[in-house]
Chain A
C-alpha cells in the first residue's frame, strides 16, 4: 500500500497519520502540499489528516476544500481511488462534496478530547474489514465541530446502503443517529471524526486503531 497524506498549512495530525500508514505498509508515506495541483502517481490511498487546515476560519474545511490539491483528490476518488478523511479531513471531504451531510459545532459547544467507545457498524469496507460488525472499540476524539448532521432521508439511505462505518456508544457531540463515520456510495471514501491513528501503539494506551490501517493494508496490497 502506497499512501499519500495531504498537508494544509494548519494540518497537525499529518505526521501521526503518515506514521500509522508506514507502520503497516513499511513504505514511506508521500506528504503532499496543498498548493500542488496533482497527486504523485502510484498512490493506493489518499488521506486528509486532522488539524485546522486553514485555521478553521469561515467553516471548518471550507477553505481547504477549495485548495488546488483537492481538485485532484476529488478526481482520484471519482476514478475509484480510496480516500480517508479523519477529523478535519472528514470536514474537508464533506466540504469537497465527496461525502454527504454536514459537521456542525458540538452540541456541548466545547472542544472535546477523550477516548470514546465506538461501535463498528459495518465491516464491509476496505477500512473496517478487520473489525467485526457490532464490535466495540476505543478510539479518541478531539474536535470542536464533530456534530454530524443529516436529514432523515440521508440517514435512511446511509443505513439502507450499510454506509455507516462507526457509531458512538455514548454520543460526545450530538451527531445524528450517533454517526461517527461514513463511506461514500462506492464505499471507497471514508470520513470519520475519531482518530484511529492515536490509539495505534501499546505505549499510548491502546491499539484499537491499528486494525483500521491493517484493513487498508490488506485490501490495498499491490493494488
Chain B
C-alpha cells in the first residue's frame, strides 16, 4: 500500500512545526516516510515528550530514603517497610473525556491501572480528581454523569476500590474538563519490574487486546487546543474493556512470577511506538518489529495506523526465550491474545516491517533522546492586589450556601457509583480527609488523597503550588498517616503563552519547596498542557496525589467525633478571605491574594496530630480547607450526626468562621482528655484553642443557630442540583 506524500500541510497536521521538521530532516538525512512522520509526531508531541515542561520538572525534589524508583518509569515506587512497596501515579485524560466522557474517563482509569500493574504491583486503590465547567453550563451535567459512570464502569469491573478524589465546578473548565486518575498498587520491594530491555535477539511479545484503529493520533490530539472542529475528534478516543484489563493484570502478575519477564511496558499514549521505543531506549538496544504479526481486529490496517493506534488493554514485553512455553500457558489460561512481534537488536535502530516492506528505519535513541526541549518564555504572575471591600456576612446563610453549593456539598452521589470496598480492606471510605486501605494481611494501612485549589494557583501560583501539597499533607495527617511521597498531575493552558508558562513555573516552584519541606518527594507524574478552548485557558490545576503510611490501624483517626466531645482548633487564625470559597460562592468574587502557607507550621501541626493520637488524646480530626472553620466543624458533625457549637472569634465573623488560613486542623477530644491535650500542645509549642463542642441536634455559630437537619439537607442536596 502506498503512503501519502509528505507535504508541509501533512507535517503541520501532525503537530510538528517547521523547526521540528528540520530537526527530523537533519537527523535522518532524508524526507521521512508517512509512517516515520507518524512515529515522530507520536514521540515528539507535548504529551509524550514533555518538551515544554521538562526543564522545570527537573527542579522537583524526587529523592529520599523512602523512594525506590522516582519519575521516569511507568509509576513511582516507595518503600513501606517489611519488604513491601507502594507503586503509584496520577495521569490526566482530559481531552478524551471532554469529547466522549464515558469512554474517555474509563480509559483514563484503565491507563493508570496498567501503569501500576506493569511494574509488578497489584492495584489496591484508585482516586480521581475531576474539574467541570460551571453548574449552569449546558454540557456540565452530561459530562459529570458520563465521566463518573465511565470511572465506575471501568474501576468496578476491574475490581479496584475507588477511595477518594475531588469534584469541582468552575466556569474556567466550561470548554475543557479535567479528569485526573490516580492508582496505587502493592508489590514486593524486590520484585519491581522496569521497562529497560536487555539482551540482543530477545523476543518482543505483544499481549492483550487486539489492535484496532481507535485512538490513532490520540496523543497528538491531547497536545492541541480545542476549537469548533472538536466533534471531528471523536474517533481519536479509545474504547475500554475492563474485563480484558482484569485478565491482562492477572496474566501479567502471574507471568512475572514465572521469571519470564525481562522488561515490560504498557501500551498507552501512542501505543506500540512509545512502548517499543521506551524499552529499547532504556536498555540501549534497537528494536525490530514485524507488523503482520500484530493481532488486529480490523482489516487492511496500515503500518501507520498500527504504530499509532491507542487500542486499550495491550502490553509489550521482552521475554526470556527459554520460558516461552510457561508464558504461553499463562496467556492461554486467561484467554489473551499474544504474539511475538519482533526482537531486540544490537544496532540503535527502530525498524518497522510490514508485509515484507520496510516502513520505518529510524535511529531509536534519537527518537526520545533528541526530542525537542523548549525553554519557553514565561512571565511571572503579578502579585494579586490586596482584598478590599470585604462584605458583611450573614453567618447562618453563608453556612447553608456553602454546604449546599455544588462545590462543597456531599460527594456521595459520585462515590456511591464507585465500588469503594472491593478487596475488603477499605478502612476509611470516600468522603473523609483521605481514603485508607489496609495492606492486605497486615495491620498496616495506606492513606490516599488528591488536592489542589485552582483559584489559589491562579491568584498566586507559587503559594497555590505550596498549598496543594500542604493540603494533601494535612489530609494524610488528619487520618493519622505519615505522608510518604507525592505524584503530580499538572494541568495548564497553552505553554506558548508566557503568562500561562509563568503559572506553570510558579506552581512548580511552590510544589518543589513544599515537597522538600514536608519530605514527600515527587515520584511520578504527568503534564497536561494546551487545556484551552477557543483561546481561553483553564485555571492552573496542579493536582497533587499523595500517599501516607499508617504503621498500625489502631493509629487511624476518623473525622467522626463522639457526643460530648470538645472541639479544639490547631493553628493560627488571622481570617484570610482572599480567594476564599466564601467570596466565590456568596459574592461571585475571586479577588485578593491566596493564603500563604507556612511550611514549618504545617510540619509541626501535622506531627502534633499524630502525636496526640499516639497519646490516645483525640477521638477525631479534620483538616480545615475551603470554607474554613465553620464548614469543617459542621462536616465533622454531619459525619457523626451530631450538632456542633462554635464560639465567636476575631478578627471578624467572616474571617473567623470562613477564613482560609492554612496549617489548621480541628481536633475532637473527650472532656477528660482536654487538659492533657492542651498540655501536649504547650509542650510542642503549637497554637491550640478550644473553640466548641459536639452534641445535640443544633448548630451554633457564635450568636446564631440552626437545626442540624437544615445543614444536612443542604449538604446532601447540593451536588444533586447539577447531577440530576
A55 on the B face (CB < 8 A): yes
- Which residues 230-257 in B have Cβ within 8 Å of A in the complex? 241-244, 246-247, 250
Q: A54's closest neighbor in chain B, by CB? A: B243
Given contacts A10-B243, A10-B246, A204 and B417 within 8 Å (CB-CB):
no
In the complex, the answer to whether B149 meets A52 with C-beta atoms within 8 Å is no
In the complex, the answer to whether B427 meets A140 with C-beta atoms within 8 Å is no
CB neighbours (8 Å) of B244 from chain A are 55
B368 on the A face (CB < 8 A): no
Q: Among the listed B250, B334, B417, which residue makes an inter-chain contact with A112, where contact means beta carbons less than 8 Å apart?
A: B417
Cα(A197)–Cα(B415), bound, Å: 20
In the complex, the answer to whether B243 meets A55 with C-beta atoms within 8 Å is yes
Of B151-159, B304-312, B701-709, the stretch lying at the interface with chain A is B151-159
Q: A50's closest neighbor in chain B, by CB? A: B422
In the complex, the answer to whether B553 meets A142 with C-beta atoms within 8 Å is no
Cα(A150)–Cα(B425), bound, Å: 34
A19 on the B face (CB < 8 A): yes
Q: Among the listed B149, B153, B158, B422, which residue makes an inter-chain contact with A16, where contact means beta carbons less than 8 Å apart?
A: B422
B438 on the A face (CB < 8 A): yes
In the complex, the answer to whether A197 meets B424 with C-beta atoms within 8 Å is yes
Cα(A50)–Cα(B159), bound, Å: 10
In the complex, the answer to whether B335 meets A9 with C-beta atoms within 8 Å is yes
Q: What is the minimal beta-carbon distance from B243 to any residue of chain A, in angstroms?
A: 3
CB neighbours (8 Å) of A144 from chain B are 156
Cα(A56)–Cα(B335), bound, Å: 16
Q: What is the minimal beta-carbon distance from A64 to any residue of chain B, in angstroms?
A: 12
Cα(A203)–Cα(B420), bound, Å: 15
Q: What is the minimal beta-carbon distance from B445 to any residue of chain A, in angstroms?
A: 8
Q: B158's closest neighbor in chain A, by CB? A: A12
In this complex, the interface size class of chain B, counting residues with CB under 8 Å from chain A, is 35 or more
In the complex, the answer to whether B429 meets A15 with C-beta atoms within 8 Å is no
Cα(A111)–Cα(B247), bound, Å: 22
In the complex, the answer to whether B158 meets A57 with C-beta atoms within 8 Å is no
Q: What is the minimal beta-carbon distance from A149 to any residue of chain B, in angstroms?
A: 22
In the complex, the answer to whether A55 meets B422 with C-beta atoms within 8 Å is no
Contact digits for A138-170, partner B, Cβ 8 Å, 1 yes 0 no: 001010100000000000000000000000000
CB neighbours (8 Å) of A12 from chain B are 157-159, 246, 422-423
CB neighbours (8 Å) of B334 from chain A are 9
Cα(A44)–Cα(B636), bound, Å: 46
In the complex, the answer to whether A113 meets B418 with C-beta atoms within 8 Å is yes
Q: A11's closest neighbor in chain B, by CB? A: B159
In the complex, the answer to whether A112 meets B416 with C-beta atoms within 8 Å is yes
Contact digits for B147-169, partner A, Cβ 8 Å, 1 yes 0 no: 00100110011110000000000
Contact digits for A186-216, partner B, Cβ 8 Å, 1 yes 0 no: 0000000001011011011100000000000
Q: What is the minimal beta-carbon distance from B411 to any residue of chain A, in angstroms?
A: 13
A114 on the B face (CB < 8 A): yes
Q: What is the minimal beta-carbon distance from B417 to any residue of chain A, in angstroms?
A: 5
In the complex, the answer to whether A200 meets B424 with C-beta atoms within 8 Å is yes
Q: Among the listed B152, B250, B422, B438, which residue makes an inter-chain contact with A9, where contact means beta carbons less than 8 Å apart?
A: B250
Cα(A19)–Cα(B416), bound, Å: 25
A1 on the B face (CB < 8 A): no
In the complex, the answer to whether B424 meets A16 with C-beta atoms within 8 Å is yes
B563 on the A face (CB < 8 A): no
CB neighbours (8 Å) of B700 from chain A are none
In the complex, the answer to whether B424 meets A10 with C-beta atoms within 8 Å is no
A100 on the B face (CB < 8 A): no
A110 on the B face (CB < 8 A): yes
Q: Among the listed A20, A56, A197, A204, which residue makes an inter-chain contact with B426, where contact means beta carbons less than 8 Å apart?
A: A204
B421 on the A face (CB < 8 A): yes
In the complex, the answer to whether A204 meets B425 with C-beta atoms within 8 Å is yes
Which residue of B412, B418, B422, B438 has the most chain A CB atoms within 10 A of its CB atom?
B422
In the complex, the answer to whether B424 meets A55 with C-beta atoms within 8 Å is no
Q: What is the minimal beta-carbon distance from A147 to any residue of chain B, in angstroms?
A: 16
Contact digits for A5-24, partner B, Cβ 8 Å, 1 yes 0 no: 00001101101100110000
B419 on the A face (CB < 8 A): yes
A181 on the B face (CB < 8 A): no
Contact digits for A50-66, partner B, Cβ 8 Å, 1 yes 0 no: 11101111000000000
CB neighbours (8 Å) of A55 from chain B are 157, 241-244
CB neighbours (8 Å) of B416 from chain A are 110, 112-114
Q: What is the minimal beta-carbon distance from B151 to any residue of chain A, in angstroms?
A: 10
CB neighbours (8 Å) of B419 from chain A are 111, 113, 142
> 18 other contacts beyond A9-B247, A55-B157, A113-B420, with CB at 8 A cut-off?
A9-B243, A10-B246, A13-B159, A13-B424, A16-B422, A35-B333, A50-B422, A52-B157, A55-B242, A56-B243, A111-B417, A113-B416, A113-B421, A114-B416, A197-B424, A203-B438, A204-B424, A204-B426
Residues of B within 8 A of A (CB): 149, 152-153, 156-159, 241-244, 246-247, 250, 333-335, 412, 415-427, 429, 438, 553, 556
> Could you give 26 example pairs across A and B, Cβ below 8 Å?
A9-B243, A10-B246, A12-B158, A12-B159, A12-B246, A13-B159, A13-B424, A15-B423, A19-B424, A51-B159, A52-B156, A56-B157, A56-B243, A111-B156, A111-B417, A111-B419, A113-B416, A113-B419, A113-B420, A114-B412, A142-B156, A203-B553, A204-B424, A204-B426, A204-B427, A204-B438
